[in-house]
Structure 1
Amino acid sequence: MPPPDRSTLENFRLTVFRAVAAQKSFRRAAEALYLTQPAVTQQIKALEAELGASLFDRTGKAVALTPAGELLLHRATEGHDLLVRAQAELASLEGRVAGPLRLAVSMTIVQYILPPMLGRFLRRYPGIALRMQSANTGDVASAVLDGSVDLGLVEGPVHRPELKLEPWLRDELVLVVPAGHPWAGSTISLEDLTAAPLLMRERGSGTREVVDAAIEEAFTAAGLPGPRMIPAMELNSTEALLAYIEQGLGIGFHSRAAVRGRIRMGTLVPVTVKGLKIARDLSFVTLRSTEPRGNAALLLDFLREHRHR
């Protein structure tokens, strides 16, 4: 686990406290902060003496927070986040761009769409320290909601009224089969899908939700009974699913951005499904109650430029 982000305005004892709480170990916290273990212990003892409360239960094998420690961690995290934002906003006022930027990004976007854009952004603003996590759409939404990231990018719908979605790019999902498959390069019917071994993303994935909804809608529009399609495989990795499809173990719906290279190489072939076209918005997700500021707002403006290209 990496050391916690630190604001230069933050009391050092609180930085050490947050590290021990995150690592659940004085030794690992010392390693993460490049300190000696006695130095970490000394800082925690001094903080406990200053507050008049025990912050950690050291009786078990693992270090655990006491109720006082839980309360302090909550407030210390809030304070740290405010200080980090203040630093970024002050730097922006002075014409400098620096400080942390925390992102949560769903799988397709982080693998196939964002890398060249983030590369250009960070070359333009080298003072920004990016921390990014990849997750499915549901987990990205949760990270934005609990404040652990400044901005989220998702590939599916978000069912949280506290969050705001802003469409960014339009994406198409295509059915792909391995080279040599009987359907390769052809057009199939909706009914054909019910007998196919589908390899799909896990539930909670934006791609999975969009595909399930589009197939159900297409069957309804065609006057067909609802499909009973049980995936032959469910994985949380697009790359793994595509590798299994290449090996002839099934077929799947994936972003055109994800399969473009494999189609060009000839290992995967797109298939048209009559009466089924799947498109979706890739979106920014933010708190409805608060407008992004500082580096998050800067990245939003940068990425919006690509919406018109």
Structure 2
Amino acid sequence: MVVFRAVAQHLSFRKAAEELYLTQPAVSLQIKALEEDLGVQLFDRTGSRVALTSAGKTMLSYAEQAHALLQRAEHEIAAIGGELAGHLALGASTTIAQYVLPRMLGEFLAEHSRVQPTLISGNTEHIVDAVAKHEIALGFIEGPSRSRDVKSESFLTDELVLIVPAAHEWAERARIAASELKTVPLLMRERGSGTRHVVEMALEDHHVKPALLTIAMELDSTEAIKSAVEAGLGAGFVSKWAIAKDARTGTSFKIVEVDELRMRREFLMVYAAGPEPQGLVQEFRRFVAEREAMIRDAIRSTRKRGA
């Protein structure tokens, strides 16, 4: 069942083999044996393309239920001994994965050393899709989700700010008008990113149409935008969480206020629609909610030490 679920999730025998540390022929043999036992074909193999048959889709539904039950059993058995244990599959959009979640995970693992977390990162669309497909138990995203296959709840407040190279003409100004953004090359996150969505919506609200902006480059991470700004390639919008440590030096880039433009957003925690998460997943979800104030205070103290 484990092998079938891996192939069904990746729709690739090769990727399933890599995930399970098996050879591809071994994976193929196990799938063939399962199909023979059931008397049905689970996968449609056409050339290099792999797709689930109707029977395969039904089987995947039960495989996911079996996987969830096994995880719940592991968590409940560990709880009998008074501690949490087991695998915790998480995913986060890039800003959260780089700057927020490591702090939370470190605190959680200090209290629950037998928990084994895994973390994937990607843009908001990627993480929502992974949650909907039950590839991860909890996702942390930077923008709203339009998927009906997941539920979401706020867990942290963020604000996007404009940064420019330290030598830029705007670096010495107290603020600029939103309309001035049309006059400089901008560095933007890729489409599908929560950050990109928030920026475009905020600018639209201030009558600055994204089509009128000069997008010098699209980048797939906040770190890439920061590096490009430092190199003098343009101005960019980044999360305040992402520049908490950089702000203490203030030599490579400057934060520039945009008149009347406040881009606050809620970081969201998402999980699959249906029954509420239980066991270890529910405990981490509760831990995140309790630690919001702690994380915020830690970031503030970092800023003060660097002031």
Match of 2:177 among 185, 189, 209: 189
Match of 2:265 among 280, 289, 295: 280
Residue 155 (structure 2) aligns with: 168
**8 Å contact kept, 1:89–1:293:** no
Match of 2:188 among 178, 200, 215: 200
Deviation digits for residues 230-263 of structure 1, max 9, x if unmatched? 4221122111111111111100111112123333
Larger deviation, residues 93-102 vs 198-207: 93-102
Q: Quickly say closer, same or farther: Cα 1:48–1:140, change in 2 above 3 A.
A: closer
Q: Quickly say closer, same or farther: Cα 1:191–1:135, change in 2 above 3 A.
A: same
Match of 2:215 among 231, 236, 243: 231
Residue 116 (structure 1) aligns with: 103
TM norm structure 2: 0.81
Report the residue type matching 1:234 in the other structure. E
**Offset of 1:197 from its aligned partner?**
0.8
**Offset of 1:185 from its aligned partner?**
3.8
CA distance in 2, matches of 1:145, 1:17: 18
Residue 258 (structure 1) aligns with: 242
Q: Quickly say closer, same or farther: Cα 1:173–1:19, change in 2 above 3 A.
A: closer
Map 1:203-218 → 2, pairs under 5 A? 203-218=191-206
The answer for unaligned runs of 5 or more in structure 1 is: 1-13, 220-224
**8 Å contact kept, 1:18–1:73:** yes
**8 Å contact kept, 2:92–2:121:** yes
CA distance in 1, matches of 2:287, 2:267: 15
CA distance in 2, matches of 1:81, 1:42: 25
Q: Quickly say closer, same or farther: Cα 1:56–1:174, change in 2 above 3 A.
A: closer
Q: Quickly say closer, same or farther: Cα 1:199–1:87, change in 2 above 3 A.
A: same
* Secondary structure at 1:116 match in 2: helix
Residue 141 (structure 2) aligns with: 154
Deviation digits for residues 19-70 of structure 1, max 9, x if unmatched? 56558448973x7655677866665554344323455678957877666555
Map 1:69-108 → 2, pairs under 5 A? 69=56, 71-108=58-95
Q: Quickly say closer, same or farther: Cα 1:61–1:157, change in 2 above 3 A.
A: closer
TM norm structure 1: 0.80
Residue 134 (structure 1) aligns with: 121
* Secondary structure at 1:184 match in 2: helix
Answer 1 or 2: which has greater helix percent.
2
- Larger of the two Rg values belongs to structure: 1
Residue 167 (structure 2) aligns with: 180
- 2:275 is equivalent to residue 290 of structure 1: yes
* Secondary structure at 1:300 match in 2: helix
CA distance in 2, matches of 1:108, 1:134: 9
Deviation digits for residues 250-277 of structure 1, max 9, x if unmatched? 0011111212333333111111112212
- 2:238 is equivalent to residue 248 of structure 1: no
CA distance in 2, matches of 1:252, 1:105: 21
Residue 303 (structure 2) aligns with: none
**Offset of 1:115 from its aligned partner?**
1.0
* Secondary structure at 1:249 match in 2: coil
**8 Å contact kept, 2:13–2:27:** no
CA distance in 2, matches of 1:216, 1:32: 43
CA distance in 2, matches of 1:57, 1:226: 46
Larger deviation, residues 118-127 vs 92-101: 92-101
Report the residue type matching 1:306 in the other structure. R
**8 Å contact kept, 2:162–2:256:** yes
Q: Quickly say closer, same or farther: Cα 1:264–1:91, change in 2 above 3 A.
A: same
CA distance in 2, matches of 1:232, 1:59: 41
Deviation digits for residues 207-247 of structure 1, max 9, x if unmatched? 1111111122233xxxxx75622422112211111111111
